[in-house]
Chain A
């Protein structure tokens, strides 16, 4: 099984701040890594696929990078509507989600 870890588990930042979340896989997953945002009480929505590709309709303040085992997700300028939990997810072998990073506004 491929295990995913994320850090930090939570963070607080001000509107306009740059936010960075990291995700690590227990083995090489190439670029088979997606990022999701889950707002409270809602289903998750995909933001980034294949580590660095912006999903359709997703604002350009979101970006992703990395390959192999180490990945980074960035919000270049945090907005109030970005209050959510963010998950990474691998699909190299079946599907596994990371434990999530809860983002709050300071």
Chain B
């Protein structure tokens, strides 16, 4: 399974950050996996953002829930992230990753990451 993030590298403050993750070698429609977004602020640790299941069910990091939306498109084998009202604090490398549902959950496949800078 391979994942690849895509989207603008620069977003203006107060606007919406939009990223897409394209999945190959596997299907977002297959059960047993969550499709996640994770970010890493420059020089800092990892922060889980949220996930979506193929059915459309989601769970989000409580600290981001009010600004966040994750969706899945089974026809294109992609899932997407929208983060509203961004500020400089949202500048980070954004990763998409898969995780096994249920027991032994772990992030086993990752994209290479994409840097998003929030600046005017």
State the A residues within 8 Å of B (CB): 1, 32, 34, 36, 38, 42-46, 49-50, 53, 55, 87, 89, 91, 94-100
CA distance A97 to B64 in the complex (A): 16
Pairwise interchain contact B111-A43, C-beta atoms closer than 8 A? yes
- List 16 interface pairs A-B (beta carbons < 8 Å), by A numbering: A1-B62, A34-B107, A36-B107, A38-B46, A42-B112, A44-B46, A49-B104, A50-B103, A87-B46, A89-B46, A89-B107, A91-B105, A94-B48, A96-B48, A97-B48, A99-B45
Please name all residues of chain A whose beta carbon is closer than 8 Å to the beta carbon of B97 when the two chains form the complex. Answer: 43
Main secondary structure of the interface of A (DSSP, over half): loop
Q: Count A-B pairs with CB separation below 8 Å.
A: 52
Please name all residues of chain A whose beta carbon is closer than 8 Å to the beta carbon of B106 when the two chains form the complex. Answer: 34, 46, 49, 55, 89, 91
